[in-house]
Homo-oligomer: A and B are copies of this chain.
Amino acid sequence: MKPKNRVFIATSIDGFIADQDGKIDWLHDIPSAEGEDMGYAQFMAASDALVMGRNTFETVLGFDIPWPYEKPVFVLSNNLKTVPEQLQDRVQIVSGPLEEVLAGIHQQGYQQLYIDGGKCIQSFLAADLIDEMILTTIPVLLGSGIPLFGELEQKLKFDCRESKVYFDSVEQRHFVRKREI
């Protein structure tokens, strides 16, 4: 299978991944049903490894829960030097140009990558290295916050291949990058 970089993330209707205080409590302020994870487990099962930025890594560490990822995690950071000892066989710090980072990850045998975290996703999009985006819309307008998307030097075309409504409230879209041939 061709290597792919895929995003699976939730935003508000106005495109924020966290509110202006960095909080994400509104993400969970939605209807839910036991056993309905809106495709997360299936997405994770189809991923070989995760790539995230330092902010996301430190946020997950701060949750005070057992490490939640079974798949290897690559943390993209120029500043982070070490990871907690109990995670050293599960987490690698990577840095440098994204193409080189990706080549290194592919060499380790991980091809289907879950790209996570706002800044990390923005870096991958700026380099046109995202192939698919599964965007879940939490149906709220926040008015301000931390945006998922950032500036780009060129516009990037996608196709929406599928959309679903969960709980008569939350919506999810599957975008696939449409590259000029």
Contact = CB atoms under 8 A, between A and B. Distances in A.
Interface residues of A, number: 41
Most buried by B among A137, A139, A148: A139
Assembly stoichiometry (copies): 2
Contacts of A157: 29, 139-140
Contact of A173 (B150, B152, B163): B163
Interface in A8-23: 13-15, 19
Given A15-B15, A141-B158, A175-B139, A165 B168 contact: no
B152 A13 contact: no
Nearest to A11: B15
Contacts of A144: 151-152
A81 interface: no
A156 interface: yes
Nearest to A141: B156
A159 B139 contact: yes
Nearest to A153: B143
Contacts of A159: 139, 168-169
A143 B150 contact: yes
A2 interface: no
Interface of A: 13-15, 19, 26, 29, 125, 133, 135, 137, 139-144, 148-165, 168-171, 173, 175, 178
